[in-house]
């Protein structure tokens, strides 16, 4: 192909994400300079954080996407031409390729993959979801067999891996989800000990029934009313891993958090983290995660949208909870 399609961000969001924020452009496939290679992207990851990357705020862990430039994203693809000594035609690679069919690279931030791994598995398990789950659970949570963990966003790509790792390590695991279908999936398919549907259950009563001896670890992916109910039930020396607060991403005002009194009374550790700070740890995080995958202890489901342009509305599925598993755009 001598031209390819790309999508630029041209406007900051103030409501639902749609085509008015973007411009679809045709670009000419560039000539390669020495040290460069060209990737044909086949699968793109959509992530809730993209909403933050589109916002004008510069007070975050990563600069916003500049208007008029290709929307930022990670993806999976194949090298189709190379003048780079480390990458050859046919290599399967993962990197920050953006919302476009082809990407020019000098290799920075691009990882070569085992060619036997399917794209959906790479993006659902070994990319951001698995790395984020492994980093938060082990480095911050320090789980011990016999402890009790609650994870919000439990049927999502990060939360489902957190829960399965903790189950494999001998913890009691309860997941918080927004539908009965997701509750069924995490209990029946993934082996969680219980589920709370934050949209329909009496949250306090359901937690009392499922975790009568309190909560040692809380993996926070969402915020919302469940946060207070969990916080009230934390055990002494509990750990809270603050990974995401999706309930606040589209809210005008963030919800007030719980009183800090319990942090003292229960001697809690609460820590936020973002993966871009920990990219140097990717090899060790993958070394920790991979054996669980090899033992068949990590199941995943991918929610695949078809075609580059589906990304423009696909992001809304995160906020309605309609995504069932890792949201991926197949190009």
Q: Does 275 bind ligand NAP (CB under 6 A)?
A: yes
CB of 221 to ligand NAP, least distance (A): 4
Q: Does 207 bind ligand NAP (CB under 6 A)?
A: no
How many angstroms separate the CA atoms of 330 and 45, rounded? Answer: 9
> Cβ contacts of residue 192 below 8 Å, gap of 6+?
154, 163, 167, 173, 174, 175, 186
Chain residue whose CB lies nearest ligand NAP: 156
Is the Cβ of residue 38 or residue 121 nearer to ligand NAP in the bound state? 121
CA 233 vs. chain centroid, Å, equals 26
Q: Does 243 bind ligand NAP (CB under 6 A)?
A: yes
CB of 222 to ligand NAP, least distance (A): 4
Contact set for ligand NAP, span 305-324 (CB under 6 A) = 318-319, 321, 323
Alpha helix (H) residue ranges in the chain: 50-54, 119-121, 128-134, 157-168, 180-184, 203-210, 226-231, 246-249, 261-265, 282-294, 311-314, 316-320
> CB of 299 within 8 A of CB of 164?
yes
CB of 154 to ligand NAP, least distance (A): 7
Q: Out of 6, 21, 38, 49, name the contact with ligand NAP by CB under 6 A.
A: 49
Contact set for ligand NAP, span 217-236 (CB under 6 A) = 221-222, 224
> CB of 105 within 8 A of CB of 39?
yes
> Cβ contacts of residue 298 below 8 Å, gap of 6+?
125, 130, 161, 164, 165, 289, 292
Q: Does 164 bind ligand NAP (CB under 6 A)?
A: no
CB of 223 to ligand NAP, least distance (A): 7
Max CA pair span of the chain: 65
* Binding-site ranges for ligand NAP (CB under 6 A): 47-49, 128-129, 132, 153, 155-159, 177-179, 182, 198, 221-222, 224, 243-244, 246-247, 273-275, 318-319, 321, 323
């Amino acid at each position: 192909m001598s031209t390819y399609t790309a999508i630029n961000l041209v406007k900051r969001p103030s409501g639902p994400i749609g085509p008015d924020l973007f411009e679809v452009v045709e670009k000419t496939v560039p000539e390669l300079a020495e040290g460069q290679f060209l990737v044909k992207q086949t699968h793109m990851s959509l992530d809730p954080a993209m909403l933050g990357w589109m916002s004008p705020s510069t007070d975050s862990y990563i600069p916003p996407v500049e208007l008029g430039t290709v929307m930022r994203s990670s993806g999976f693809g194949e090298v189709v031409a190379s003048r780079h000594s480390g990458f050859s035609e046919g290599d399967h690679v993962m990197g920050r390729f953006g919302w476009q069919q082809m990407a020019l690279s000098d290799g920075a931030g691009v990882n070569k993959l085992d060619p036997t791994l399917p794209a959906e598995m790479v993006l659902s398990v070994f990319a951001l979801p698995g790395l984020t789950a492994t980093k938060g659970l082990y480095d911050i949570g320090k789980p011990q067999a016999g402890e009790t963990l609650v994870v919000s966003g439990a049927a999502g790509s990060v939360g489902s891996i957190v829960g399965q790792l903790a189950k494999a390590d001998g913890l009691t695991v309860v997941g918080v989800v927004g539908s009965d279908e997701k509750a069924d999936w995490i209990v029946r398919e993934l082996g969680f000990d219980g589920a709370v549907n934050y949209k329909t259950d009496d949250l306090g009563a359901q937690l009392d029934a499922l975790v009568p001896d309190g909560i040692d670890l809380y993996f926070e992916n969402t915020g919302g009313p469940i946060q207070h109910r969990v916080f009230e039930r934390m055990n002494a020396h509990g750990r809270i891993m603050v990974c995401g607060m999706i309930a606040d991403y589209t809210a005008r005002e963030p919800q007030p958090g719980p009183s800090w009194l319990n942090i003292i009374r229960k001697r809690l550790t609460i820590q936020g983290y973002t993966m871009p700070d920990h990219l140097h740890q990717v090899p060790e995080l993958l070394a920790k995660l991979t054996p669980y995958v090899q033992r068949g202890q990590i199941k995943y489901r991918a929610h695949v949208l078809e075609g580059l342009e589906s990304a423009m509305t696909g992001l809304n599925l995160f906020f309605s909870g309609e995504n069932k598993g890792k949201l991926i755009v197949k190009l």
